[in-house]
């Protein structure tokens, strides 16, 4: 676990920012190393050093690293979006998931429309192929199926391109 690594003689990022001497029992030292000053600066700006200290003392030691990572993520999100914070990011991902589910439903519906004709066309191809490879003239009977398949592919590409225009 990173929190129990021996640290150098320099102060942790928290003590450096707060301009105080870092003691060996510093609660911040295992989680805000001196080479990560921005991590503590963001957490301090959003939550305050006193609140972070209180949170860390209340959390069991084996959960502190996860707690600090959560605080750092929330602080980063809150600085990017002061009103919604990480809830805004979650809502954005949920909207994107709904859009993708709708796109998938459209693709499945289009595929289902062309699956039934494909099954009958495949039966024709199977009948033609029983005696060996079909001649090109035999495949002409399936021309409508292949034309509708390529048209459907173009339609799906166009639907996909429209989804990209909104970004």
Taking only the tens place, the pLDDT of each residue in 108-120 is 999 988 886 655 5
Backbone angles phi, psi at 68, to 5 degrees: -65, -40
Specify whether the CB–CB gap between 34 and 12 falls below 8 A. yes
- Burial zone of 137 (CB within 10 Å; 0-12 exposed, 13-18 middle, 19+ buried): exposed
Taking only the tens place, the pLDDT of each residue in 19-46 is 999 998 999 999 998 888 999 999 999 9
**78-114 burial: b if 16+ Cβ within 10 Å, else e:** beeeeeebbeeeeeeeeeeeeeeeeeeeeeeeeeeeb
pTM: 0.54
Q: Which two tokens stand for residue 163?
A: 């989804």
């Amino acid at each position: 676990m990173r929190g129990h690594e021996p640290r150098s003689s320099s102060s942790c990022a928290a003590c450096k920012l707060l301009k105080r001497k870092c003691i060996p029992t510093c609660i911040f030292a295992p989680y805000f190393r001196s080479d990560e000053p921005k991590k503590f600066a963001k957490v301090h700006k959003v939550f305050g050093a006193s609140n972070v200290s209180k949170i860390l003392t209340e959390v069991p030691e084996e959960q502190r690293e996860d707690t600090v990572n959560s605080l750092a993520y929330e602080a980063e999100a809150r600085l990017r979006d002061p009103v919604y914070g990480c809830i805004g990011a979650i809502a954005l991902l949920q909207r994107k998931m709904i859009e993708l589910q709708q796109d998938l439903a459209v693709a499945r519906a289009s595929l289902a429309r062309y699956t039934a004709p494909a099954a009958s066309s495949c039966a024709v191809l199977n009948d033609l192929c029983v005696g060996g490879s079909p001649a090109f003239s035999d495949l002409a009977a399936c021309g409508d199926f292949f034309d509708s398949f390529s048209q459907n592919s173009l339609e799906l590409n166009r639907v996909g391109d429209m989804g990209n225009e909104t970004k």
